[in-house]
Amino acid sequence: MPLEKAHALILRLVDFSETSQVVTLFTKEFGKIGALAKGAHRHKGPFDSALDLLTRVRVVFLRKSSGGLDLLTEARLEHRFRPPDRDLTPLFAGYYVAELLLGLTDDYDPHPELFESAAQTLQTLSQDGEINISPLILAFEMNALRLLGHLPNLEECVECGKPMSTDQLVAFGQSSGGVLCQTCRPGKRHIAQINGESLNTLQWYARCKGNVDLVPPHQITGEIRGVINHSISHLLGRELKMQKHLRFLAQSEGKT
């Protein structure tokens, strides 16, 4: 069994015994892995209190060749996810990032750029001061979909390739994988209507490639949140648990 080292984000922790845990990690070098951390609940040990949800760690693990759980042998803290106590919204947003990575990524399929994007997003959510959470999460979602090859076609009709105008309502096909012109729309299922401003915003986020430093301060409407939620739900075949919190956030921000 080879000994491996990696940078990792902790996505899920499940108790295995009184002293051990099963840990799901999204690593920069190897992608998503599941590992058994023996002695994780002990105060003194090789994990040094580093095994917390959404924590960024450096890990050492033994990779199992049989397809079972890897064995986590060491974890060292790099950054602990601790959003401000006064507001639960950054915490929920962090949970959503983890849930999205769990759902969209495959075991041992590395995406180093996605790892850095997720780590940067979680670090921003941990900062003190006011955070524009909806734009931040939308930037991460669009970047994740792009890097994993699931980004909807937002620039031209997904069926015929006709450039889309944003001066009127636009049909967005969840099953089709992007926007549809009026000619190609008839007969398609799972269609949402979005206005030109919403499409312009989605196009902007698709082009910014997850650079959170470029996230504009404007609010994200419930319409945009709904389109992205439905797209991800259709892709995964289920709705993510934390999506409802983001939907409520978008609605409350839209009223400010």
Whether the pTM exceeds 0.85: the reply is yes
**Mean pLDDT, 10 residues at a time, over the chain (256 residues)?**
91 91 97 93 76 96 87 94 84 95 97 97 88 87 95 94 90 92 92 90 85 61 85 92 73 50
Distances (CA, A) of 88 to 82, 84, 102, 122, 238: 11, 8, 21, 14, 24
110: amino acid identity, one letter: P
Whether the Cβ atoms of residue 13 and residue 21 lie closer than 8 Å to each other: yes
- List, in order of start, the domains of the chain with CATH numbers: 132-256 (1.20.1440)
In this predicted structure, what is the pLDDT of residue 253?
Answer: 56
Q: Dihedral angle at the C-alpha atoms of 68, 106, 28, 213, nearest 10 degrees?
A: -150
In this predicted structure, what is the pLDDT of residue 131?
Answer: 79
Contacting residues for 87 by C-beta, under 8 A, at least 6 apart: none
In this predicted structure, what is the pLDDT of residue 248?
Answer: 58
In this predicted structure, what is the pLDDT of residue 94?
Answer: 95
The number of angstroms, rounded, from the C-alpha of 19 to the middle of its chain's C-alpha atoms is 30
Phi, psi for 60 (deg, rounded to 5): -125, 130
In this predicted structure, what is the pLDDT of residue 256?
Answer: 43
- Beta strand pairing status for 70-79 and 31-37? parallel
